[in-house]
Every structure is written in structure tokens, then in C-alpha cells.
Chains A and B, each alone.
Chain A
């Protein structure tokens, strides 16, 4: 099939752009470890409160300036609803749902993950600036979806 010379040039330029996007994403993902939240551990949604680590929700110090925030999601809130960490700390949020699918998002950061019944999900973020950060549910979960929120206080 004959292809017009201008179209060849256009497709070459476009193809190079697409390939360079894919290469950039590949390097970011596999060389720099910037993967989206994709945790594989499963959990029984009916037994969340009795299953570690969700039997002890809250912030746990795991290293210098490193914390794990274990937070369950349910209609229509997070437990605990509020956590506190010092400025400069690296926090890994660990969450699962006790009922339907929820979202876990902190506007202004890259924290954005799905929280689904049956699975544990994790995402890590470093908080350098002190202040109050809003946690919100960004996946429709029912009549009180717009009330579902939490806070991270960075001191």
C-alpha cells in the first residue's frame, strides 16, 4: 500500500513522540520505581478488624522519619479519621475497605489509590510542608460519599 510522503513524515514524528512517551514511562517505572499503587495482598473484608495490621489502626513509627499509617475505609469514613506526623516524614498509607470500593486521595500530593474490599493497598508520600492535608474518598461509595474524609496533620 502506497503512503503519501507527507503522511509518512507526520506518522514518523507522531510515532517517535508516542515511543518516547512509552520509554519515559518505562524508565520512570522500572528504573526509578515509580509504580502506581498495585499491592497484591488479599484480606477477608468481613474480618478486617481482626486481621493485622488493621486490628491496630493508627500511625506507627517504623524508622527515622518513617511512618506507617494504617487506615481502614468504610461507609462513610476512615479509621482513624485523623493522623499526626512531624514535618519531613515519609508516610506509607496502608488501607483496605470493610464494605464497598472507596478512593483514598490527598489533594496537592500524589497520594491517590483505590481501596477495595478483598485487597490491601499502599502508597507512600513524604510530607515536607507543615499544615493540614485533606484526605477524601474519590470513588462513589453511596449516599454519604461526599462526607467521607480524613485529615493528615503535619507539625
Chain B
């Protein structure tokens, strides 16, 4: 059994623990915010609703996800690289870690001193402290440096194994980081070229439509950056846990390549209701967005195929007999399975949001909040929780005990019930027109807004259950890190089925796929961005409105 060596373990563990610290803090902010909105508590004057909303969003969506993903991918690369990272990879990994941590602290301090209540989308011309933007830039650039460490390890492996396909986990991790580095050029350009000079007062005004376009050039691929590590778990780790085989190496690689190519040129679907972008360009992005449902449909097929072949190998009979052979008693599988189930309504919601005409009904309503609490908040988060149940003991040289296994299943169950209430009522509220990112209000007792109140209460109940589940997860992480009995916990990596077809070499040629992705971005964004710079709207001066 290949173990991740101690030095690589320490690096991965550092990332994962920062991720869960951010998660715990963010969960408390989320619960406070829900209780304030539901009228259960009133925020003190030094801590406002929008301040904790910003803290919740930044810590969950940016800090928890990015730190966890980088730590997880490093561990998997070490595991498939014979148990260790190359010294160069480790050095870059630690450099990235300290940059990301410094950026996070700058962000948290500016938010908690109320200098940056601009939410994690920081829409100009709301003007936060320049140090908030510097912190955001450090977080992103730090993750690039960590990614370069992964690329270095991948290159070393390829040099040492000429003519062979890289290990599937390593390949998928590299794909995820390539996607991330391509797309975050957009937000880096926004922050470095537009927001930082403007926030320091070196320029007076900001081109609002350009800043939003650069943000969403990054903002949608960002969700695939969250999703792909979950997909890695499903494709590569899950088969081993259920006692089966990876269905197809080639299909797995193809899915990741499609995501790298197609995830960036689709950001306008976040800007469908905006002026300053021609409807024909919006439509191009809508069509491309819908086509990215294809790799997720391939994933659905592959998951069922993996379940079924594993079940049949164990002697399952009938059309659905394999279902009973799935290890639902194993927390590592149970939470992951729930994550997959939740991805079905989450994906359908995504297709609705991306459709330019349906979007008029749900745009900026709390439906959208409900949607991403299903995608990143449930599908991705539950998968990461399931990973933590084996990854943390593996890294710390401890064991997941049967009691902890049961608590893990309870966590997954509570999380799902909480989300059922919270996300379900958010979706309903959104269809009724309830806005997102809005403190408790009845709009001066407007009858429409008053009719929403029962749904707000249900949202708050769901949020309460989620807080309990979040604290349980933090307790599990703490126990697995410091208290669990010493032992060996397996790092599950599935093997490819013998009958799977050979993988075409083209799927590993990043020299082909990266240029294809860049060309598609230039086609989808080149002319609109050229127009926004060539014929800019009159600039908007910055303003602090909180």
C-alpha cells in the first residue's frame, strides 16, 4: 500500500486544516446571517448583516474550496507519484501556502473591520480597502504557485516514464489546475489592472462593464474548479471504495479535457440581464453553456456503469440488483453518494439559470443562492467531507474508527436534510421573486413580500440543521487530526478495468488543448472586451455604500 510520505503529508495537511478552519468560521457567519434575516437575533452595530454575508461568502467560496482543493490535489499527486512530491513541487507548494494564507488574513481583517463589505463578487464601483483586493490577488496567485508545483511533479513523472500515460489522478489534478490558471487570468486582470490602482486612488474612475466581464470570465469556470476535484473523487477514488474498477481511463480523461476547453468561454450567462453586452454575444455563451452539460451527462453514465459492473462482479442479479451491493455503511461512500444524488437537481437548476429567457425569472433572486448551495454547498462540500474521512487519517497516520464512521454518515444525512429545507425554500422563494443577498425586510409591509415570510422561516430551520452538521464535521476533522488512534488508513486509488479500451495519446497533449481553450476564449470574449476598451462607458467614481 503506497503511503504519502511525511513531508508531503505535512504540506497537504496544512492546506486541508486551513480549509476546515475557514469552513467552521464561515458556517458560524452563515448561521448568524440566517438568524438575523429570520428576525431571531439582531446584529450588534459593530457587525452588520452585509459584513457577515461577505465573510461567509469569501471564506466558504474562496478560502475553504481553494485551500482544500490544493491540499487534496497535492496529496493525490504524491500518492500516484510513488508516495512523494518532488522537492521543487514541495517548495512551490509551501510558497503558495504562505501567499494564500497572507492573502486570506488580509481579506478577513479588512472584512471584519468593515472596510470591505462588498461580498465575494466585489462589484465595482463599490470601493473596498485596497488591501482587500491585494489579499484576493495574493490568494489567487498563491494558488497558481501551488499549481506550478503540481505541474513540476507531472513533468518529472512524464520525463521518467516516456511514452506512458500519466496516472489518472495526476492527469485530472493537472487538468483542474490548468483550468484554474487559464480562467483566473480574468480576475487577476480585473484586480491588478483595474481595482488596485483605483482603490489606491491612482485613477479616479472604473469601467464597470469591463470589470464585471473580467470577473465572470473567471467566475463561472471557478465553479468547475470546485466541481472537478469532486469528479476526481468520483472517477478515481470511488471505484476503489466500492470494490470495483475505473470504468474507462479514456472517457475520464476526455471529460476533463472537455471541461478545460469549454468552461471559460461561457461567462456571459451571468450577465444576461446587463446593459452594454450585445444579445448575440450573450446567445453564443448560452449555447456553449448548455453544451457543457454533456461531460456531466457522460459522468452520470460512467458512475452508474461503475456501480453496476462492481455489483455484478459481486454476483448482483436483475436490472437494479447491484444497488444493494453498494457500501452504504461506509461513510466514505455514503456522503459521496448523497453528493451525486444532489447533483441531479443542481445540474437541472444550472440549465435553467443559463437559458437566457428563463433567467429573467430567476436572475439575482434567492433561487440562485439555493442553486449554488446545491452545487458547491452540497455536491462539492459533501464530496470533500467524504474525502476528509480517509485523507486526514492517512496524512496523520491515524485510523477512522467505527464510531467516527457512523458520525460521518450522520453528518452527511444532517447536511442533506438541512439543505433540503434551506435550498428547497430558497428555490421556491426565488421563483416567487425574493431577491438574493438581502437582509430581512418586508419592503414596508408590501403584501407580496409578506407572503414570503413562511419560506424565510423554513430557510432558517434548514440553516440551523446545517450549523449542527457543520460543527459535527469540524469535530470529526479535529478528532481525525489529533485524537484518533494511530494506524494505517488507505489512500484509495482505483485501477482501470482490464477490458477498458486503450487511451488515445491525443488526450494527454496539453500543447493542443490549452491553445484550443485560449482560441475559444478569444472567440467568445475578444470582440466584446475590445469594444468595452475601445468605446468605454463613462467611468464610475468609487463609493463606499455600507
Select A140's contact among B119, B287, B301, beta carbons within 8 Å. Answer: B119
* Cα distance, A82 to B448, chains bound together (Å): 16
Which chain B residues in 266-283 approach chain A with CB under 8 Å?
271-279, 282-283
Q: Is B327 an interface residue (CB 8 A)?
A: no
Which of A21, A46, A145 is within 8 Å of B355, CB to CB? A21
Pick from B212, B275, B297, B546: contact of A142, CB under 8 Å: B546
Least Cβ–Cβ distance between A150 and chain B, in angstroms: 10
* Cross-interface CB contact of B365 among A39, A47, A138, cutoff 8 Å: A138
Is the interface on chain B under 10, 10 to 19, 20 to 34, or 35 or more residues? 35 or more
Question: Are B538 and A38 interface neighbours, CB within 8 A?
Answer: no
Contacts of A149 in B (CB 8 A): 443-444, 446
Residues of A within 8 Å of B360, CB to CB, are: 36, 110, 112
* B298 proximity list for chain A (CB < 8 A): 7, 11
What total count of A-B pairs have CB within 8 Å?
Answer: 215
Binds B, one of A62-70, A83-91, A116-124: A116-124
Flag if B538 contacts A116 (CB, 8 Å). Answer: no
Q: A10-B297, A38-B274 are in contact. Are A107 and B359 (CB under 8 A)?
A: no
Tell me the complex Cα distance, A140–B120, Å: 11
Contact A118 B441 (CB under 8 A): no
Docked complex Cα distance between A139 and B447 (Å): 21
* Minimum CB–CB distance for B302 against chain A, Å: 8
List B contacts of A106 (CB < 8 A). Answer: 433
Within 8 A of A (CB), among B344-374: 351, 355-357, 359-361, 363-365
On whether the beta carbons of A100 and B543 are closer than 8 Å, the reply is yes
Among A89-105, those with CB < 8 Å from B are 99-101, 103, 105
From A47, A118, A141, contact of B276 by CB (8 A): A118
Is B432 positioned at the interface, with any CB of A under 8 Å from its CB? yes
In the complex, the chain A residue whose C-beta lies closest to that of B118 is A140
Segment of B86-94, B100-108, B288-296 in the binding face: B288-296
Binary contact readout A112-153 vs B (1 if CB under 8 angstroms, 0 otherwise)? 111011111100000000001010111111111111010000
- Give chain A residues whose Cβ lies under 8 Å from the Cβ of B297: 10-11, 14
Residues in B487-546 with C-beta less than 8 Å from chain A: 501, 503-504, 535-541, 543, 545-546
Chain A residues with CB under 8 Å of chain B are 1-4, 6-7, 10-11, 14-15, 18, 21-22, 25-26, 28-30, 34-47, 75, 99-101, 103, 105-108, 110, 112-114, 116-121, 132, 134, 136-147, 149
5 pairs across A/B with beta carbons < 8 Å? A21-B290, A44-B538, A105-B365, A121-B275, A136-B433
Closest 7 CB pairs of A and B: A107-B433, A142-B545, A118-B537, A119-B275, A138-B435, A146-B441, A44-B538
